[in-house]
């Protein structure tokens, strides 16, 4: 039992929105090894274009910790919880973190996508289609197509949504 508690693993932590850098700094200051993958992106405002550094995975950061360090990391500013599977903290294989670090060494070759796989049941959370539920039919880099099937009459209607629309995955019980 002692061996399991003292063994270090990689864990993903859920972080409050826009707190990734603060959480990272607090965890590092506590002496816990942390990894916050970032990318540089060009952001356009009405008066200028600026290159900014953003987290690769918004709302997440990774720690390499034993059980005591993992629990201490949960007290850091902005940390919500450990990503878990069936109620247990989910350890991430070290090779996956190594691969991610290696890919980030060549950011010019990265293609970052937030695509939702075809066939996924979703609910739109932004107007004008807020509340609409449907199944993702296909997606390109610039837009998503959500099809909503009206099963009574065997008809399907598709809606084209901008890529920055907010959609969230839903389970059938949430419909």
Q: Which of 163, 165, 158 is nearest to 130 (CA)?
A: 165
116 is a domain residue: no
The domain total for the chain is 2
Report the pLDDT value the prediction gives residue 130, as an integer from 0 to 100: 75
Q: Output the average pLDDT for the chain.
A: 79
Q: What is the mean pLDDT of residues 101-117?
A: 73
Report the pLDDT value the prediction gives residue 26, as an integer from 0 to 100: 96
pLDDT for residue 140 is more than 70: no
pLDDT for residue 30 is more than 90: yes
Quote the CA–CA distance of 121 and 134 in Å, as a whole number: 6
Quote the CA–CA distance of 158 and 79 in Å, as a whole number: 38
Tell which of 109, 143, 164 closes a domain. 109
Residues 89, 6 within the same domain: yes
Report the pLDDT value the prediction gives residue 1, as an integer from 0 to 100: 46
Quote the CA–CA distance of 104 and 107 in Å, as a whole number: 5
114 is a domain residue: no
pLDDT for residue 165 is more than 80: no
pLDDT tens by residue, 76-102: 999 999 998 888 998 999 998 998 888
Report the pLDDT value the prediction gives residue 87, as an integer from 0 to 100: 85
């Amino acid at each position: 039992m002692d061996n399991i508690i003292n063994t270090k693993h990689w864990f993903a932590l859920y972080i409050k929105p826009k707190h990734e850098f603060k959480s990272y700094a607090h965890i590092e200051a506590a002496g816990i090894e942390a990894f916050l993958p970032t990318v540089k992106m060009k952001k356009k405002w009405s008066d200028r274009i600026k290159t900014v550094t953003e987290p690769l995975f918004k709302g997440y950061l990774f720690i390499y910790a034993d059980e005591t360090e993992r629990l201490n990391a949960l007290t850091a500013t902005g940390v919500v919880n450990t990503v878990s599977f069936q109620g247990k903290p989910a350890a991430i294989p070290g090779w996956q973190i190594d691969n991610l670090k290696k890919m980030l060494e060549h950011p010019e070759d990265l293609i970052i996508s937030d695509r939702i796989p075809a066939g996924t049941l979703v609910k739109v959370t932004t107007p004008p289609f807020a509340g609409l539920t449907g199944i993702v039919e296909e997606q390109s880099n610039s837009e998503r197509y959500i099809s909503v099937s009206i099963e009574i009459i065997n008809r399907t209607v598709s809606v084209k949504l901008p890529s920055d629309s907010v959609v969230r995955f839903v389970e059938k019980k949430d419909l």
